[in-house]
Amino acid sequence: MPQANKRLAQGQSSENAPSVTRSITLKDVARVAGLSPITVSRALNSPQLLRPATIARVREAVELTGYIPNLLAGGLASKRSRLVAAIVPQLFNAMFVETVQGLGDQLAAHGYQLLLSLSGYSPAHESELVSAILSRQPDGIVLTGINHAAETRKRLLSANVPVVETWDLTPTPIDMLVGFSHQKIGETIARYLHGKGYRRFGLVWADDERAALRRAGLETVLNEYGIGKAASHMVPTPATLALGRKGLQVLLDSGSSFDAIVCSSDALAQGVLTEAQVRGIKVPGQLAIMGFGDLDFAAHTVPSISSVHIDKRAIGIQAANALLARIEGRPLKQRILDVGFELIERETT
């Protein structure tokens, strides 16, 4: 079999190779190692089935040939892609970055890779993304939020793939859920600020669906306290410092007077704070400011910004854990995990 021998020799040196170099496959490695392809496959995927000496032979051959497994082929044959997909609205929003990072880190630690898609807050786009994602046969999917197109839900259900929804709470998730209650946060903020004696509220608020929930909670409680609908200025996502400044300008120019501005995110709060300082408004003496998200800067501005802390990274990590448990067939303690939140009182209130 000179043919085979010749090939074997070519394994290492690449002299007179044809223009299109066929890539190294399991078979090549097997030939070099003097084993069957399936044994090589096992050495790489279930080494506990083989004796150490065999594994060493394989490792050597892999080294020698520079073999890189083809996960498309592997996934096709095994029905396991070792891929997890995540959809977040956007990355500009620093909130999601930590979740994605936590998710990515945790998945990587368990041999999974992350396919990231950005929906831009559009359920229609999300729906398309889900189709595209399912094409890759992911072992799990992480979604942001709980409101999805009916189509999305249906596709995910019939694909029979583990799904984790995040960043919100509902008793009826598609599958699993890691989040917290925006409604409760709104309520908590309202009680807290009311308790501190603030009465004339203004809102600088992002136009996204979860922010709307927080707002609903806030207004419900304010209403209970007999405080009417607060004046508000809506801003588009992503919320920035500049939009926060603009927000306070608009609110003040409207002629109303305020003793507290509640913002849907820390970036907006920082903007409101900046604008207040520019105008010589004492914070919190004349005006209190409340943020949300407890981003890294909130504790270190002067004055520091009161906010609501969310363990954003934990959401990613727990989402990964939930998926990993489901994928590996381990029992899941709870389908729904509430990571909670914590109101952080700082100097702006």
Partner DNA sequence: ACCAAGAATGATTGCGCTATCATTTTTTGG
Partner DNA sequence: CCAAAAAATGATAGCGCAATCATTCTTGGT
Q: Pick one of 1, 4, 20, 77: the residue that binds DNA (CB under 7 A).
A: 77
Residues 102-135, buried b or exposed e (16+ Cβ, 10 A)?
bbbebbeeeebebbebbbebeeebbbebbeebbe
Which stretch of DSSP H or E encloses residue 276?
helix 266-278
Residues numbered 127 to 156 that lie near a copy of itself (CB under 8 A) are 131-137, 155
User: Roughly what angle, to the nearest 10 degrees, separates helices 52-65 and 26-33?
Assistant: 120
Q: Does 115 bind a copy of itself (CB under 8 A)?
A: yes
Judged by CB under 8 A, which stretch of 53-61, 190-198, 239-247, 333-341 contacts a copy of itself? 239-247
Is the separation of the CB atoms in 117 and 129 below 8 Å? yes
Q: Pick one of 50, 149, 159, 216: the residue that binds a copy of itself (CB under 8 A).
A: 159
CB of 316 to a copy of itself, least distance (A): 11
CB of 328 to DNA, least distance (A): 13
Taking the C-alpha atoms of residue 201 and residue 190, their distance in angstroms, rounded to an integer, is 10
Reference 143, options 342, 322, 331, 340; nearest CA is 322
216, interface contact from DNA, a copy of itself, none, CB < 5-8 Å by kind: none
Query: In this complex, which beta carbon is closest to DNA, that of residue 285 or of residue 329?
Result: 329
CB of 41 to a copy of itself, least distance (A): 14
- Give the x/- contact pattern for DNA in 21-60, rule: CB under 7 A: -xx-xxx-------xxxxx-xx-xx---xxx-xx------
**25-28 — which CB contacts under 8 Å span 24+ positions?**
25/67, 25/70, 26/67, 26/69, 28/65, 28/67
CB of 61 to DNA, least distance (A): 12
Altogether, the residues listed in the chain come to a count of 349
Q: Return the amino acid letter for 214.
A: R
Q: Does 101 bind a copy of itself (CB under 8 A)?
A: yes
38, interface contact from a copy of itself, DNA, none, CB < 5-8 Å by kind: DNA
**Contact positions vs DNA (CB under 7 A):** 22-23, 25-27, 35-39, 41-42, 44-45, 49-51, 53-54, 67, 69-70, 73-74, 76-80
